[in-house]
Amino acid sequence: MFVNQFLFLAAVLFCIGVYGVIARKNAVLMLMSIELILNSVNINFLTFAMRNGSTDGHTFALYIIAVAAAEVGVGLGLVLLVYRNKKTISVDDLSEMRG
Amino acid sequence: MNLLAAETEILAPLASGWFLDNAWLIPVVPAIAFALIILIGKRLPMKGSELGVASMLASLVLSAGAAYQWIQRVNSATEEQFVEPVIKSWSWWRSGGFDFGIGQHIDGLSVVVLFVVAFISTLVQIYSLEYLRGDRRYTHFFAALTLFSGGMLAMVLADNMILFLLGWEIMGLCSFMLIGHWWEEDANSRAALKAFFTVRTGDVGLLVGISMLYFAANDWTQENLGLSGFSIRGISAWALSGEPNSTVIMVAAIALFIASIGKSGQFPLHTWLPDAMAGPTPVSSLLHSSTMVVAGVFLVARLYPVFFVGLDILGSGGNLIMFIGAITIVISAALAFVQNDIKRVLAYSTVSQLGYMMLGLGAGAWLPAVFHIFTHAFFKACLFLGAGSISHSASHHSFDMKSDMGGLRKVMPITFTTWIISTLALCGVFPFSGFFSKDEIIDNVGNNGYNTFMIIGLVGAFMTAAYMTRATYLTFFGEPRGASAGHSSHESHDAHASHGPHESGLLITAPLMILSVLALGSGLLNATPFGESWERMKLWVEPRAVEVVDSTYPGGPGESLFIDVPSAEDSHSKSVCGTATPEKGVCYAPQLEHAKFKWSKAMLSMVIVFLGMAMSWILSMLLFTKRDARLVGLTQRIKILGVGHNFLVNKYYLDDLYEKVIVRSVAYPISRAAYWFNQNILDGILHSISSLTRKLSGWVYQNIDKRVVDGTVNNSATFTKSVGTAAQPTQSGKVGQYGALLFSAAAVAALVLVIINT
C-alpha cells in the first residue's frame, strides 16, 4: 500500500493551507486555503479508511465535503458583504481594534 | 458449458453490436451537453441551443442504431427463445453491505421508448429554436430541456431501481424548471410548484416500493442470479419465481403504482397535468407525449411481473390498475369538454390516453399498452406543437379557442392538415396509428374477460372523438374571432398584428409534418388486422414468457444457475410463467394472451367514434356558429345541467379538496393547537416561575450578592485587567496572526499527544 505517499501528500497540502491562512491578506484566498486544509484531512480519512478496510472514513469525508460547501457559501457571502461596505477584501484593513 | 450449449440447439448465440453494448451513452450525451450549455452556452453563437439539438441528434442516432441491432438480435433468436436483454452493470458505490449499481438494461421495451424519447426530443428542440426565439432565458431553457430528455433516457435504460429513481427525479426537477420557465407570472410558478409537489407525493410510493422490493428480493436474487435486489432483471425473476410473500409483493406493487399515479397523472393525482400547460408549448409537448407522464406507465410496464403477481392481473373482477385507468379515462375526457384553452383540452386528452395505457397494462394487454405509448407520442406531440404553431403565428400567444381562434384552416394549411391527421389518429380512426394501438387495448381488455372495462374504453373512445371534434371545430372552422380575426387588444406593440394570422415558419412546420407522417403510419408496425406478419412490435418488443434455464448473465459476478436442460418437447409446451412456479429455471415475463383481431369488433368502435364526431360536429355548429337559441345558455336555463357544468368547470372540486380541505385541515389545527399550548400552558408555567424567582432573588441580592459576590468580583476584575493588559498585543485584529496562534497551539497539542502516546 502507498499509505505513506498519501499521508505525505496530505501533510504537504495541509502545510500549504496553513501557510495560506497565515500569510495571505486576501479573504477569498484564505477561504481557498481553508478548503485545502479540509481536503488534506479528507485525504487522511480516506487513506486510513482504505488501509483499515472500513467505510467510516468515507462517511466522514462526505460529511466534511458537505460542511465545507456550506462553509464556503457562508464565507463568500461574508466576503461579498464586506466588500460592499468597505470596498476591500483584504483582511488586514478590516481590523477596527486599537490594540 | 460448451457441451450443454451443443446439446440444446435452442440456445443459439444472440447477435449483438456496438450500439447495443454502448447504449449507456444515450443518456450520457445529453447530460454532458447540459453541463456544457450551462457553462459556455451563453457565449456560443446560437446561445447554447445548438448543443442541445446536437446532443439530441446524437442520442437519436445512438438509439436508432440500438433499435436496429436489437431487431437483428431478435431475428437471430429462435421463435421460442427468450431474447436476453443486453445488460451491463458497474458498481456505483458500496456502503454498509449495499451495492448500488449503475448500468444499462436494453430490451425491446427500452429500445422502443428510447427511440421515441430521442426522436420527439429532437423535433421539440428544433421547434423550440423558432418558438422561443428571443426569450429571456433561452439558454437555460435549452439546458433544462436537454437534461429533461437525458433524465428520461437514463430512466428508460436503467438496469436497477436506484438509477431508475435517479432519472425519475431528474425529470421531476426539470419539469419544475420548465413549467415555471416564465416564473415572473405568479400563476406559472404556482403551476410549477403544484406539479412538483403532486408528483413528489407519489414519489414517496416509489421509494417505499423500491426499498420493500430490495429487502424482499435481495436474498433470492443474490443466491439464484448473483444480482442485487435493486436490479430490474432480478426483481422480475423473483416476482415470477413463486417465492414472494403475496402480501409483501402486493403492498410493494401498490406503493409503486402510487408513484405511477403521481407521475402519469392518473386519478386522483391528475390535477397537476392541466396546470402544467403554464410552461412553454414545446415543454407541454415533450412532457405530454414521450417524457415525464409516460414514465409512470413505463414503470408499470418495466416491473410488470411485480404488478402481475402483486395485483393479480388477469384475475377475475379487475384490479387497482384497471380501476384507476378506467376512472381516469372517463373523468378526464369529461373535463376536456368544458375547456376553452386548446392546450388544456389536449392535456385532459393526454390524461385520458394514459388511462388507456394503464387500463391495458392492468388488463394484461402489455403489448398494446406499450404500443400505445409509441403511437400516442407521435400524434400527441404533433397536436401540441400544432397548438403552439397557432398561438405563435395566428392568435397572438393566446390559447383561448373561444375568443381568439376560429376559421384558421385557410390561413394555416399545414398546421390544419397535420392537426387533422393527428386528431384522427387520437380518435382511433382506421388506418391512422391510434386505431392499431387503442383499439387493440380495448379489444384485449374484452378478450381477457373484463367486459365492463371494455365498455368504459368504448365510452372513452366516443368522448375522445367528441371533444376533439369540438376543439377542431372551434379552432379551424367557423368565423375567425378575436386575435385570429386581426383585431387584437394589444395591437400597437405586437409585431404579428400588422400582418394578421399566417402560417408558421419552416422550423415549426417541419417537425409538424414529420410527426404527422408518423401519426399516420406508425401504427403499421403492429397492424394486427393485416395478419401475423405485420405484428412486428409483438415480435420485437414483447418479452417471451419462457423459462430461462441457463442464466448466464453479462456483467456482475456470481455463479451461474445450472439446472436440467429442457428437452425439445418441454420448450414447446405452454409456458408456466406467471401462472405456476417455474421449476427448471426462472421467468422474466408472464405469459399473456393476445386477442384475435375481428373486423366486427373494430367496426363497432369505428361506428362509435364516427357517432361521437358527428354528434359533436352538429352540436358545435349549432352552438358556436349558428348560435341556436335552443342550445345557447342551456346551462343557465336548466339547473341540473348547470350544476353538472359547474362541477366540471371546477374540475370535480379536487383542487379545492386538496388545497382547502386537506392542506387546511392538516395545517390549521396544528398551528392553532400550538398557539393555544403556547398561550395557556407555556406562558402559565413561565409566569409562576418568574414570580417565584423574583422573591428568591430579592433575598439573594441582600444577603449573598452584596457581601460575597461583590467582593469576589471586584478582586477578579482587577486580576483580569492585569492579565488583559498583558495579553493585549495578541488581540491585534490581524486574522493572519490569529491563524498562526491557532495552528501553533494545535501543533503543540499534537506534539503533546504524540509524546503521551509513545
Q: Say yes or no for a CB contact (<8 Å) between B733 and A96.
A: yes
| pLDDT higher than threshold 50 for residue B496 | no
Chain B contact present for A99, CB below 8 A: yes
- The string of pLDDT tens digits covering residues B441-479 is 888 888 888 888 888 888 888 888 888 888 888 888 877
Please say if the pLDDT value at position A59 is more than 60.
yes
Residue of chain B whose Cα is closest to the Cα of A96? B733
Q: How confident is the model at residue B400 (pLDDT cuts 50, 70, 90)?
A: confident
- Please tell me the distance from the alpha carbon of residue B661 to that of residue B670, in angstroms, as a whole number: 14
Bond before B85 cis per omega within 30 degrees: no
Count of CB atoms within 10 A of residue B558's CB? 14
pLDDT at B504 over 90: no
**Closest-approach residue (CA) in chain B for A98:** B732
- Nearest partner of B117 among B89, B155, B71, B143, judged by Cα: B155
pLDDT in tens, B617-656: 888 777 776 666 666 666 666 666 667 777 777 766 666 6
**Mean of all residue pLDDT scores within chain B:** 80
Q: Do B544 and B74 touch, CB atoms closer than 8 A?
A: no
Nearest CA in chain A to B743: A18
Residues of B in Cβ contact (< 8 Å) with A46: none
Whether pLDDT at B10 is above 50: no
Give how far B31 is from chain A: nearest CA, Å: 23
User: Residue B1: its pLDDT value, please?
Assistant: 40
Count contacts between A and B (CB, < 8 Å): 38
- Strand, coil or helix: B585: coil
Cis peptide leading into B274, omega within 30 of 0? no
Whether the bond into B27 is cis, omega within 30 of 0: no
Q: Do B95 and A58 touch (CB under 8 A)?
A: yes
**Angstrom distance (rounded) from CA A20 to CA A31:** 9
Least confidently predicted of A51-55, B535-539, B659-663 = B659-663
pLDDT, mean of residues B400-408: 74
pLDDT tens, position by position, B172-230: 888 888 888 888 888 888 888 888 888 888 888 898 899 888 888 888 888 878 788 88
Q: Select the residue of B733, B739, B740 nearest A97 (Cβ to Cβ).
A: B733
Closest CA to B592 of B575, B609, B568, B573: B575
What is the band of A39 on the pLDDT scale with cuts at 50, 70, 90? very high
**Residues in chain B within 8 Å Cβ distance of A96:** 733
Q: Do A22 and B94 touch (CB under 8 A)?
A: no
- What are the residue ranges spanned by the domains of chain B? 654-757
Q: Is B97 on the interface with A (CB under 8 A)?
A: no
* Contacts A23 to B, Cβ<8 Å: 736
pLDDT of B560 above 60: no
Residue B735 scores a pLDDT above 80: no
Task: Point out the least confidently predicted range of A17-26, B40-49, B344-353, B554-563.
Answer: B554-563
pLDDT at residue A38 greater than cutoff 90? yes
Residue of A nearest to B741 (CA): A22
Asked if residue B491 has pLDDT above 60, the reply is no
Separation between Cα atoms, residue B193 and residue B205, nearest integer Å: 19
How much is the pLDDT for B667?
Answer: 67
ipTM score: 0.75
Angle at B511 between CA B510 and CA B512, to 5 degrees: 90
**Residues from chain B contacting residue A95 (CB–CB below 8 Å):** 732-734
Which domains are present in chain A?
26-90 (1.10.287.3510)
**Residue A10: per-residue pLDDT:** 93
Q: What is the reported pLDDT for B569?
A: 43
Contacts of B741 in chain A (CB under 8 A): none
- Lowest model confidence (mean pLDDT) among B255-269, B441-455, B665-679: B665-679
pLDDT tier at B486, thresholds 50, 70, 90: low
Does pLDDT of A12 surpass 90?
Answer: yes
Could A55 and B733 be called an inter-chain contact, meaning their C-beta atoms sit closer than 8 Å?
no
Contact B98, B54 (CB under 8 A): no
Instruction: Convert the pLDDT of each residue in B40-98 to its tens digit.
Output: 877 777 787 888 888 989 999 999 998 888 888 888 877 777 778 888 888 887 776 77
Contact A92 B734 (CB under 8 A): yes
B319 pLDDT tier (thresholds 50, 70, 90): confident
Q: Which three cell numbers stand for residue B670?
A: 396544528
Chain B positions touching A24 (Cβ under 8 A) are 736
> In Å, how far is A67's CA from the nearest CA of chain B?
20
Confidence (pLDDT) at B92: 80
Which stretches of B96-160 are DSSP H helices? 108-131, 138-156
Mutate to test the interface with A, among B730, B743, B744 (most CBs of A within 10 A): B743
Q: What is the pLDDT of residue B225?
A: 80
pLDDT band at B519 (very low <50, low <70, confident <90, very high): confident
